[in-house]
Amino acid sequence: MMSGETTMAGATSGGSAIAQESEVAPGSAVKFKDGGKDAVLIHLDDGNFVAYSAICTHAGCTVAYKNAQLACPCHGSVFDPANGAEVVSGPAQTPLPEIPVEVQNGEVVKA
């Protein structure tokens, strides 16, 4: 239980960690940059981590995590992160691109 404590350093081995597993509670999300572009890491209620591009596939606004969904503020598109970021409501027609991630030693990293 105590083994996953974080320290002040914040240094990670490969520099590829997106977040500490313990920092992202189930049902919450954190933003990160993937290749300089906005992305979002979500800890699903079922315990799995998923990550997606946060750039709306409609016209490129940045989506935000809210109520277990990814919602775009520009024209109201909604995506379902538990289901491959499938479009729940438009105008977007394409799911957000997924970024494969996995948990290694308490850190969420790109797979």
Q: What residues make contact with ligand FES under the rule CB under 6 A?
A: 56, 58-61, 72, 74-77, 91-92
Measured from the CB atom, the residue of 49 and 65 that comes closer to ligand FES is 65
* Nearer residue to ligand FES within complex by CB, 61 or 68: 61
- For residue 47, CA distances in Å to 32, 40, 95, 99, 103 come to 19, 16, 21, 17, 11
Decide if 57 contacts 92 (C-beta within 8 A): yes
Paired tokens of 44: 């699903």
Q: Which is nearer to ligand FES, 42 or 63 (CB)?
A: 63
Q: How far is the CB of 91 from ligand FES (least distance, A)?
A: 6
Q: How far is the CB of 18 from ligand FES (least distance, A)?
A: 23
Instruction: Write down the least CB distance from residue 99 to ligand FES, Å.
Output: 18
Query: Distance (Å, rounded) from C-alpha 63 to C-alpha 45?
Result: 19
Give the max Cα distance, the chain: 46
